[in-house]
Amino acid sequence: MKNKLLFLILATILGNQHYKTHAQGDLLITPNRVVFEGRKIKEILNLLNTGSKTTTFSVSFVQRRMNEDGSFSVITEPDPGQMFADPYLRIYPRKVTLLPGEAQVVMLQRRMRTDMESGEYRSHLYFRSEKDYSALGDEKQDTIKAFSVKLVPIFGISIPIIIRTGDLSNTTTITDLKIIREEENVLNFTVVRNGNISVYGDFTVEYLPKKGESYLIGVKKGVAVYTNINKRYVTIKLNKSSDINLKQGILKVKYISRENAEEPQVFAAKELDLGI
């Protein structure tokens, strides 16, 4: 009965379009990003096994560096401008076993400290599948007739956990707007971030013709620029229809916050005059 109730609660949450989810493999996590600000000290994470087999997931913290192309590298020591959040966090439980279609909550709690330096602390919460990865027919044989190597991917998801405290500041700008491969309608630009907190949001690209109404021709969602980097390179594929001429008019790019859906903040905006 308890599992059915959790499933119904999670299904209701997922029906809300503004609620963030993250799904990969056989695990769905809600929300897919946690930010502790002000007096917030707890967050409930909802897990759902969407697969057809009972699976155990271990839960741990990992540290990741964001690179300027948006990729991540695993690290053990913080980069300049980066502080780890896991010393100030508790997670319970650290291992979850879910039947197919079963849901469970995991509690994440912030440890309040008064001696923390102002700024942003970030670690990533890692959910690793502990499935039995041995293949059928892999029992030992009396005679080895051939040698083979089999690579089996081990499934895992990580989500960012952020703590913000003290005096916070951020400025964001967009630079170097350029259509680098006009025949493929690809827009390249750089996001420049300054201050002691990260930014996270969506990009929109509008085409403004010399006459007539504008068109939304590009969107890229869920783009972050974390505090260990001051700039990130972004590429957006433009959806150009036959009545849009990318040799005239203006492209307007906006970077809009996702953290307050009711009153989204415009981090930055930039225009590119295609006629120049």
Give tens-digit pLDDT for 161-204: 999 999 999 999 999 999 876 667 899 999 999 999 999 999 99
In which residue ranges of the chain is CATH 2.60.40.10 found? 27-132+154-165, 170-274
Per-residue CA distances from 54 to 106, 126, 207, 252 (Å): 18, 19, 49, 48
Q: Closest Cα to residue 218, out of 244, 192, 200, 198? A: 244
Q: Closest Cα to residue 87, out of 119, 106, 110, 118? A: 110
Tell me if 123 sits within 8 A of 88, measured CB to CB. no
> Which pLDDT value is given to residue 211?
85
Q: What is the mean pLDDT of residues 127-137?
A: 63
Tell me if 89 sits within 8 A of 61, measured CB to CB. yes
Tell me if 154 sits within 8 A of 148, measured CB to CB. no
Which residues are bridge partners to 271 per DSSP?
Answer: 252
CATH number, span 170-274: 2.60.40.10
In the CATH scheme, what is the homologous superfamily, with its name and number, of domain 27-132+154-165?
Answer: Immunoglobulins (2.60.40.10)
pTM over 0.85: no
Per-residue CA distances from 201 to 81, 112, 119 (Å): 21, 27, 19
